[in-house]
A and B are shown apart, each in its own frame.
Chain A
Amino acid sequence: MSFRSTCLAAAAVLALMCGAAQAQTLRYANQGELKSLDPYTVNETTTNAHLGHPYEGLTARGKDLKIEPALAEKWEISPDGLKWRLYLRKGVKFQGGEDFTADDVIFSSERVRAPGSNFTTRVPTDSKFVKVDDYTVDVILTSPNPILNAQWDTWYIMSKKWAEANNAVAPTPAAATTPSFASLNANGTGPFKIESHQPGVKTVFKRNENYWKPIESNLKEIIFTPISSDATRVAALLSGEVDVIEPVPVQDIQRVNASGNAQVLTGPELRTIYLGMDQIRDELLESNVKGKNPFKDIRVRQAFYQAIDIETIKSRVMRGLSTPSALMIAPELFSHAGFTRPKFDVEASKKLLAEAGYPSGFEVGMDCPNDRYVNDGQICQAIVGMLARVGVKINLNAQPKGQYFAKVLKSGGYKTSFFLLGWTPGTFDSHNVLNDIIGCRDNPNSSRGETNLGGYCSKAVDALTDKILVESDTAKRNEMIKEAYKISTDEIGYIPLHQQALAWGVSKKVKLAQRADNSVLFYYATKE
């Protein structure tokens, strides 16, 4: 209302200026659907980005992914690192009219850890949230945690009053028997509110005129529709029916750029695509080598590494849209200085295989998803060809992600000998990589290494990882992270391939900042 009257007043004086700031509707199509509006139900980038419009966290991440204050104005950490004091922003209102206070933070901290939440890792289970006054909250930890707030930008704060009034105190679990109010309605403090939501069909966002700070975007309304078919999504962009699409298939990028009314924003993504090898079983599940596991021999792992021509994968399969990587983390998140990939060398690879006792190679099965990452199936096919040149025969099993994950993950018993996977650390921090995919999985009572499908294990890395978790001195911490990467890279625990690229199709009328975590956020967008 106030915006409109300001605009009208301005129109009387400066008609041109008002024209420039004219409110706009933006149409957006994504491959995936927006399923539940409950912000603790599905932890997935696209959903989190959608819900980042109506909701907000205590912190936010800027266009460069740096942590910024949001609902918490500032925070202080006690010298022993066991107490975080959060100072909350005053005068913020939820879209439903409720005041934002410490009670909402404490309520959200309980709800996010309740059964049925998929975001339990956002807040340590044994931490306590204590209300000091209406706008101050203390977080009491049992061990220091320098990256406590690393994922708080997607831990969205909900209103206690609203949740209690609408019987939505518990998160909507997967096995819900009654539909939850929170999965169909949203009430946050964010810059846009949800006007209507038809699950899987259409969601309309309206500008929140009472937002606590000026909104960079000039949009009045965002209409989101999922379009799952690649060809249709591109056609809708080219015909001008939608303004932004995500993703653009790599083979269509040139066509979109040549069209004149739209262009493709590309940039490096944070996800690292890599190959893993079963190094834990005494005999591989799918191989003609019996009685021993060739991947336990570092020479075999190196031979595989050197047989892969990553530049060809980049130019042929990825059409130039990938960044070959020597580390299991993207360079935006940890510096790659001092790390290089071993040289692509077919002769050296053959020699290593011969030294390891496989002069004529061997046969092994490979698992690969074909609908999860950019051109994942084709990458695997290229690798099959490259390994054939050094005598290794790969029996490729490329399947949809549903079957793939059921086979290779812990729940399926890690039934794989050789696989391709992608990983983005949720915390944007190396500890997550070192703990979840590089850490040993030998202790059944620990969650360490649960996604370490190949079972690579180094006790030295684990010891460093434990220290990294509690080290508050950034320089020292980075030194330890580097050392841990050095050990695991020297031992070739994995074969990193590349970081894939983002590809957003954007109409020429729209200006949009591209964030490397693939979050499409329209509070950064302006439309002519």
Chain B
Amino acid sequence: MLAFILRRLFQSLLVMLAVALIAFTMFRFVGDPVNQLVSLDTPAAQVAEIRRSLGLDDPVVVQFLRYIYNAARLEFGVSYQFRLPVISLLGERAPATLELAFMSALFSLAVGIPMGVYTALRRDSWLAKIFQAVSLVGISLPTFLIGILLIYLFSVTLGWLPSFGRGDVVKIGSWWTTGLLTGSGWKALILPSITLGLFQMTLIMRLVRAEMLEVLRTDYIKFARARGLKTRAVHFGHALKNTLVPVITIAGLQLGSIIAFAIITETVFQWPGMGLLFLKAVQQIDIPIMAAYLMLISFLFVSINLIVDLLYAAVDPRLRATIGAH
């Protein structure tokens, strides 16, 4: 088992190195960061001096190795645009992104599961058909469009919810900020959470529906009915419980995507999270932020996958046997 974990850890490290290398190769094509730092009428000699001081004159390999060396010591450099350490910028923005991701995951589960159950049990009812249609919209409409539509409906036309930002936030501890303790913070969370969670919600709804239909056909459900159990107990006690195993797996894996793909939602709602920071960094060619964000996201995916692998091994004895045989 230990050998397995070590091997997986080593592979994870390789993946992260590969991500860093690909990112660094891409940075050569995003443009010249120095032109974003200075005005157009800055003397060329001064521009050259800045480029030299940032180490941008060095070959990519040297820049890459220097970056890896610093990253290994958890030094991610200073943002070109803000002149602040990238670590503190990402740390400042992380609570916003995590809170949004958590709320939209919660929304997708809390709404997706009941909708999936309903559409499976009352397949021919008109409400189930509406749910199916809504889920099609959720899967096919791009996130930014949903966001803008929601803003126009709930902010501009009805004036119920704010169109941008996080509302008032409360500081907890030295760096965490939360919008969950203020009314304006809750209001501000609603639209972005729905926008970000809509795709996951439809995914979960469809998954629950398909699994539920599958389970309802199995023998033990027939047996349960034959025993004269109440329909309610059969549906929720037996069928739904067995449906949830794959749902939990998918939802867990999707949490990574929610965090990583919050970029669009955060931009539409000017949500002060890491995704918005990253997108602005791409526009401004702020290489330290881009590099650190990409590393962070790859770390997130690598660790989620690692945990899932380990959990599988823990859950499934057959898998454990193969691991041991290696």
Which of A's residues lie within 8 Å of B, judged by CB?
29, 33, 35-36, 38, 41-44, 115, 118, 120-121, 172-177, 179-180, 183-184, 198-202, 225-229, 231-233, 235-236, 238-241, 371, 400-406, 409-412, 423, 426, 432, 436, 447, 450-451
Q: Which among A176, A233, A404, A406 is the interface contact of B83 at CB below 8 angstroms?
A: A176
CA distance A36 to B165 in the complex (A): 21
Q: A227-B164, A236-B164, A238-B156 are in contact. Are A35 and B83 (CB under 8 A)?
A: yes
Q: Among B3-11, B109-117, B147-155, B212-220, which stretch is in contact with chain A?
A: B147-155
Could you say which of A183, A402, A436 contacts B30, with CB atoms under 8 Å apart?
A402
Are B82 and A236 within 8 A (Cβ)?
no
Whole-angstrom distance between the Cβ of B312 and the nearest chain A Cβ:
40
Q: Are A402 and B36 in contact (CB under 8 A)?
A: yes
Contact-residue size bin, chain B (C-beta under 8 Å from the other chain): 35 or more
Task: Check: B248 CB closer than 8 A to any chain A CB.
Answer: no
Query: Is A228 a contact of B280 with CB atoms below 8 Å?
Result: yes
Which residue in chain A gives the minimum CB-CB distance to B84? A179
Question: How many Å lie between the Cα of A277 and that of B37 in the bound state?
Answer: 26
A174 near B47 (CB under 8 angstroms)?
Answer: no
Q: Do residues B32 and A406 form an inter-chain contact, with CB atoms below 8 A?
A: yes
| Residue interface mask B279-307, A partner, CB < 8 A = 1 | 11001110000000000000000000000
Knowing A400-B31, A412-B32 are in contact, say whether A235-B41 is a contact too (CB < 8 A).
no
Q: Pick from B38, B163, B284: contact of A118, CB below 8 A.
A: B38
Contact A409 B82 (CB under 8 A): no
Contact of B270 among A175, A227, A239 (CB under 8 A): A227
**Of A199, A228, A405, the contact of B84 (CB 8 Å cutoff):** A199
B151 nearest CB neighbor, chain A only: A235
23 CB contacts below 8 A, A to B, read A35-B81, A35-B82, A42-B37, A43-B38, A118-B42, A120-B46, A121-B41, A172-B83, A174-B53, A200-B272, A201-B272, A227-B270, A228-B267, A241-B155, A241-B163, A402-B31, A402-B32, A402-B285, A405-B32, A405-B35, A410-B44, A410-B47, A411-B44
Contact in complex: B35, A411 (CB < 8 Å): yes
State whether the Cβ of B197 lies closer than 8 Å to any Cβ in chain A: no
Q: How far is the CA of A238 from the CA of B37 in the complex (A)?
A: 33
- In the complex, whether B92 has a CB less than 8 A from a CB of chain A is yes
Chain B residues, Cβ within 8 Å of A42: 37-39
Residues in A whose Cβ lies below 8 Å from that of B162:
239, 241
Does B45 interact with chain A (Cβ within 8 Å)? yes
Render B40-81 as a binary contact track against A, CB cut-off 8 A, 1 for contact: 111111111111011100000000000000000000001011
Q: How far is the CA of A528 from the CA of B33 in the complex (A)?
A: 43
Give the Cβ gap from B292 to chain A, nearest Cβ, in Å.
15
A200-B280, A239-B159 known; A176-B46 Cβ under 8 A = no
Given A174-B37, A239-B155, A241-B162, are A411 and B32 also a contact pair (CB < 8 Å)? yes
Question: Cβ of A177: which chain B residues have Cβ within 8 Å of it?
Answer: 78
A199-B82, A201-B272, A411-B47 given as contacts; is B53 within 8 A of A225 (CB)? no
Query: Please, which residue of chain A has its CB at the minimum distance from the CB of B158?
Result: A239
Partner of B277, one of A173, A183, A200: A200
Return the 7 tightest CB-CB contacts between A and B, nearest first. Answer: A402-B31, A406-B32, A175-B53, A43-B39, A405-B35, A403-B31, A201-B272
Which B residue's beta carbon lies closest to that of A406? B32
Please tell me if the beta carbons of B83 and A447 are within 8 angstroms of each other in the complex.
no
Q: Inside 8 A of B42's CB, which chain A residues have their CB?
A: 43, 118
Which residues on B are within 8 Å of A, measured CB to CB? 29-51, 53-55, 78, 80-85, 88-89, 92, 148, 151-152, 155-156, 159, 162-165, 267-270, 272, 276-277, 279-280, 283-285
List of A residues within 8 angstroms of B39 by Cβ: 42-44, 118, 426
Rounded to whole angstroms, the CA-CA distance of A457 and B46 in the bound complex is: 24
In the complex formed, the residue of B with least CB distance to A447 is B43
- B residues near A202, Cβ cutoff 8 Å: 165, 272
* With A406-B35, A411-B34 as contacts: A235 and B152 at CB distance below 8 Å: yes
Residue of A at shortest CB range from B29? A403
Report the bound CA distance from A155 to B126 in whole Å. Answer: 69
- On whether A450 and B44 interact (CB within 8 A), knowing A42-B37, A232-B164, the answer reads yes
Q: Establish whether residues B83 and A38, one from each chain, have CB atoms under 8 Å apart when the complex forms.
A: yes
Contacting residue for B78 out of A176, A235, A236, CB 8 A: A176
How far apart sit A183 and B84, CA to CA, in the bound complex (Å)? Answer: 8
Q: A225, B34: Cβ atoms under 8 Å?
A: no
For the complex formed, measure the closest distance between the CB of B97 and the CB atoms of chain A, giving whole angstroms: 13
How many angstroms between the C-alpha atoms of A38 and B37 in the bound complex? 13
Chain A residues with Cβ below 8 Å from B48 are: 411
Residues in chain B near residue A436, CB distance under 8 A = 41
Q: Are the C-beta atoms of A199 and B44 separated by less than 8 Å?
A: no
**A410 neighbours in B (Cβ, 8 Å):** 44, 47
Q: What is the minimal beta-carbon distance from B297 to any residue of chain A, in angstroms? A: 19
Residues in B neighbouring A402, C-beta threshold 8 A: 30-33, 35-36, 283-285
Nearest opposing residue in chain A for B51, CB measure: A411
Question: Chain B residue with minimal CB distance to A119?
Answer: B39
- What's the least CB distance linking B3 to chain A, in Å? 41
Residue of B at shortest CB range from A410?
A: B44
User: A235, B156: Cβ atoms under 8 Å?
Assistant: yes
Question: In the assembly, what is the distance between CA of A316 and CA of B43, in Å?
Answer: 37
Question: How far apart are the CA atoms of A235 and B164 in the complex, in Å?
Answer: 9
CA distance A445 to B142 in the complex (A): 53
In angstroms, Cα B226 to Cα A133, docked, is 104
B160 nearest CB across to chain A (Å): 10
